[in-house]
Amino acid sequence: MVHIEKKLQIPRNFEGFGEDSFDPKWPNGARIAVSFVLNYEEGGERSVLDGDEISEPYLWEKGSSGGFRKNARYLNAEQDFEYGSRTASWRFIRLFKEFGWNFTTFAVALALQKNPKFAQALVRDGHEICAHGYRWLDIWDYGLEEDKEYIKKTLTTLKEVTGRMPTGAYFGRGTPNTPSLFPEVWKELDAEFLYSSEVYNDDVPYWIDLPWEAELPEDQRQGMLLVPYNYDCNDGKFHMAPGFGSSVAETYEKYLKNTFDMLYREGASSGKMMTIPLHTRITGKPGRCEALRNFMMYISEKEDVWVTTREQIARHMHEEFPYKPHGAWMSKE
């Protein structure tokens, strides 16, 4: 049964910033901040070799027709995931080195632990490591203490593998309490927490008031910065219905360009952010990766584009718009 801790529930907000939006005033007058996010999950997915009852049925090349095996290995699925770690991970390293850009890695801790050379390359090349859970599993029914321990295990494992503590988080498969526990767990580990990406409801970052801080004096409240993620540009849609189509890379490329064009135009008056969620085993396939490269070439020719990591976006917000309760952070005065 799902445990919902009432004090950790963040209220819904249907109004947002309204007609005029919020201008994050990106560095050097950029109109748009572009965040490439590589979801690294290979080796953290369900597998009977890791004690799971079924093989992983989700987000691999056979899509919804792939199915799974119960209490048995499904080599087809296993090896599609292995392609992501063995081959495609290095394709992304080469591709981003070509452009001189950095991406954020939503890193499943166990997955990165199983590919330490890739972990080292991420750190070497300046790519951000963001916490994406210990394994690529739903923990929906975890109790409060189990939830906190799972977050801690994620963080300590990532630090052991990479030599540094993540400053942000996106689990995506947590409990209703998980996102609200991030600030508390980071604090318990005496680590710096900058942002959560467990939100899909805007095109710019924003601060929220934390309900459990309401009784604290205002100067002691820390709030939480949210850096929005998305599903519409997510390459996972190659294996979802409806989606981009399992082989139609041009449709994906066109959608990314359309999204960029709209946000880039709007960003002339009020800066925007675009997120491009990637997976090694999906866009890391040659045909799709070439489409991604075409998109990267396209935006590289535009002026006032800031390609950056989510950590740098968060640091910009912390410096330029530090948290103040009740929305007062939006004013730079």
In sequence order, what are the residues at sequence separation of 6 or more whose Cβ sits closer than 8 angstroms to the Cβ of residue 106? 37, 38, 39, 40, 130, 132, 170, 172, 197
Question: What tokens were used for 42?
Answer: 């290979």
Q: Give pTM, 2 decimals.
A: 0.96
Beta-carbon contacts of 201 under 8 Å, excluding residues fewer than 6 positions away, are 13, 16, 228
Query: DSSP class of residue 316?
Result: H
Q: How far apart are CA 131 and CA 225, in angstroms?
A: 15
> What CATH topology corresponds to 23-57+75-328?
TIM Barrel (3.20.20)
- Rounded to an integer, what distance in angstroms lies between the CA atom of residue 201 and that of residue 193? 21
Dihedrals phi, psi of 196, to nearest 5 degrees = -120, 145
* pLDDT by 10s per residue, the chain, length 333: 788 898 999 999 999 999 989 999 999 999 999 999 999 999 999 999 999 899 988 888 887 777 889 889 988 888 999 999 999 999 999 999 999 999 999 999 999 999 999 999 999 999 999 999 999 999 999 999 999 999 999 999 999 999 999 999 999 999 999 999 999 999 999 999 999 999 999 999 999 999 999 889 999 999 999 999 999 999 999 988 777 776 678 899 999 999 999 999 999 999 999 999 999 999 999 999 999 999 999 999 999 999 999 999 999 999 999 999 999 999 765
Residues 283, 137: Cα–Cα separation, whole Å:
21
Parse the chain into domains and list their residue ranges.
23-57+75-328
